[in-house]
Structure 1
Amino acid sequence: MNVGKKIGCIIVLYNPNMSMLFTILNEISNQVSKIYIVDNSTVDHFLDFSSYSNVVFEKLGNNIGIASAQNMGLNFFKDYEHILFLDQDSIPPRNLVSTLLENYLFLLNKNIDVGAVGPRPFNRGENKKYEGIIKKGKKLYNNITEVGELISSSSLIAVETFNKVGLLEDGLFIDAVDHEWCWRAKAVGNYRFFIIEDVLLSHQLGEGDKNFLGMKIHIPAPIRTYYQFRNYIKLLDRSYVPFYWKFSNGIKYFIKYFYYPVFVNNGKKYVEYMNRGISDGFKDKDGSI
């Protein structure tokens, strides 16, 4: 790809699979100007990026949360034109950046205030596309679907947009960070968000999924439920957070509250974290547990 436009890529690590990480770097290193890697890992590992001329590596030694780590990258790339976020478990296709940028510029030329564009996530484990259950989005063009929010992984965003909307919310730490920013961007500048259907992102979610009453219930690590429940409570009273998200997640978390302790190993630990998350949510607690 001709990277005439300065595009920075931000990857946040947390105890990554090394083989997967280097697979991702091999795919993305020629698509962007520079890659800024922030390592939130809590375990020591040796990482050698010397074979990549455009990688900057920041080892933190502790977990500051995905929002703060991504904000470090945004500050690093403040003089660039666009940012691409990547997860440590999402494999980008070789046409990712060129296709996203082409469609981003196409939408701008249609006088649309573009907040971000992203690929269609594709579950490589189940060999199917991820689509919203309640909000599937609206087909704007044959290959472009407008949605209310995007996951951060592989989303392309103009640096200028962050200057207007602000950075990611550090206090949320991990869950709902990307969605909160999208909703805030819509409230601040009526920015809109799009999935580009002809580029697929190989992603793996829900390796711990279980079926319950016809629904798939994702089984996270117990501590993750703390952030899910806490941040849900924190976002409930914000007017710019859409009602459908509050309603659907309210039902989902209600089910999970009773499902985890009965059907999941170490259920008592889940209850402890969920209760603490609910309590800290009402206290509007920020940051890590």
Structure 2
Amino acid sequence: MIGAAVVLYKPDMTQTLRLLRAVSEQVDVVTIIDNSPHVTPIELDTDNIHYHHFANNIGIAAAHNIGLRDLIAAGCEFAMLLDQDSEINEEFAFRLSSLLVASRKQNRPLIAVGPRIICSFSEKTVKPRVQREVARYDELVCVTQIISSGMMIDLSKVEQIGLKDESLFIDGVDHEWCWRAREQDLMVAIAEKVEMVHKLGDARSKFAGVTYKVGSPIRLYYQFRNIFLLLRRGYVPNYWKLRNLCVLPIRFFANSFLQDRRLERMKFMLCGIWDGIWGATGAYNDNWKSR
């Protein structure tokens, strides 16, 4: 059995219903974890959907964990994770699951496989600037990390490395889980011939000839904080640590002076740096609402 866990947060219903229809036709069970303030009306004529609503927004890691536990309890062998702003074709789940099945038969230590990502802004394939290729197997390129949306997981191997790290709440959750898998000698891979359109960030901006993602101000809190939290962990790749430390001042400048809502963005970045240095985890409101 194949299951899918779809995480929602104030979704665009036209796009979301299109995704849910495509997913429900390809898998046996769909678990929806809705972090929106209000219940999202899901009007689909299917009985294979489980719906969980968390008005207080429990974060992406906790949402994934609820979805994974739900799919394991339903007897699924494989679990596909999806964000609300991803687009998949009609063979997406079958092709990814087939690669995992083939890897099992060949005794490859593969725990998850994801697609080539096509950015919805540029309509071009996303090519990470810095990422180490570990190995190649036929249509698979084993790498150090892949993003969570579109990721299909072999659930029989999850117990070996554990679920997602809820202390991170959102940013870096997918990469941290992949690095932890590598620490346990398990691999993640990109399927060379499987593509998925995905929205990365809310917008795009350019500084000094470099195009970068622009997100909401509060996302900066998690991005900056989680860099400092992950710097402490030995299994996090050194290239990731070095790159993020080097670009941190540039990102702070760009988000402080080149975007709108400058003071608000600066506040969230400074709070993130403070909490990252002192090791605060969880949701922003849990750490700062009472201050």
In the superposition, the TM-score normalised over structure 1's length comes to: 0.93
The partner residue of 1:154 within 134, 147, 150 is 150
Tell me the CA shift for residue 106 of structure 1: 2.2
Alignment of structure 1 residues 64-143 onto 2, 5 Å: 64-78=58-72, 79-135=75-131, 137=133, 140-141=136-137, 143=139
Specify the alignment match of 1:3 in structure 2: none
Q: State how far apart, in whole Å, the 2-side matches of 1:91 and 1:50 are.
A: 17
Alignment of structure 1 residues 1-289 onto 2, 5 Å: 6-42=1-37, 44-78=38-72, 79-135=75-131, 137=133, 140-141=136-137, 143-187=139-183, 189-289=184-284
**CA deviation map 1:190-245 (0-9, x unaligned):** 11111112111011224421111221121111111000011110000100000111
SS of alignment partner, residue 32 of structure 1: coil
The code of the aligned residue for 1:58 comes to: H
Q: State how far apart, in whole Å, the 1-side matches of 2:40 and 2:180 are.
A: 38
Are the aligned partners of 2:3 and 2:78 in contact in 1 as well (CA < 8 Å)? yes
Tell me the CA shift for residue 97 of structure 1: 1.1
Are the aligned partners of 1:165 and 1:184 in contact in 2 as well (CA < 8 Å)? yes
SS of alignment partner, residue 42 of structure 2: coil
Q: State how far apart, in whole Å, the 1-side matches of 2:120 and 2:253 are.
A: 30
Matched residue count: 282
Specify the alignment match of 2:287 in structure 1: none
The code of the aligned residue for 1:64 comes to: I
Structure 1 residues 17 and 265, CA gap change in structure 2 (3 angstroms): same
Tell me the CA shift for residue 136 of structure 1: 6.1
SS of alignment partner, residue 178 of structure 2: helix
Moved runs in structure 1, 4+ residues, more than 4 A?
none
Are the aligned partners of 2:114 and 2:190 in contact in 1 as well (CA < 8 Å)? yes
The code of the aligned residue for 1:29 comes to: S
Q: Which runs of 5+ in 1 are unaligned?
A: 1-5
Are the aligned partners of 1:115 and 1:182 in contact in 2 as well (CA < 8 Å)? no
The code of the aligned residue for 1:32 comes to: V
Are the aligned partners of 1:95 and 1:199 in contact in 2 as well (CA < 8 Å)? no
Tell me the CA shift for residue 105 of structure 1: 2.1
Are the aligned partners of 1:93 and 1:199 in contact in 2 as well (CA < 8 Å)? no
Identity %: 34
In the superposition, the TM-score normalised over structure 2's length comes to: 0.92
Tell me the CA shift for residue 142 of structure 1: 5.2
Are the aligned partners of 2:21 and 2:44 in contact in 1 as well (CA < 8 Å)? no
**CA deviation map 1:237-259 (0-9, x unaligned):** 10000011111122222211112
Q: Which runs of 5+ in 2 are unaligned?
A: 285-291
Tell me the CA shift for residue 107 of structure 1: 2.5
Q: State how far apart, in whole Å, the 2-side matches of 1:26 and 1:97 are.
A: 13
The code of the aligned residue for 1:133 comes to: R
Specify the alignment match of 2:288 in structure 1: none
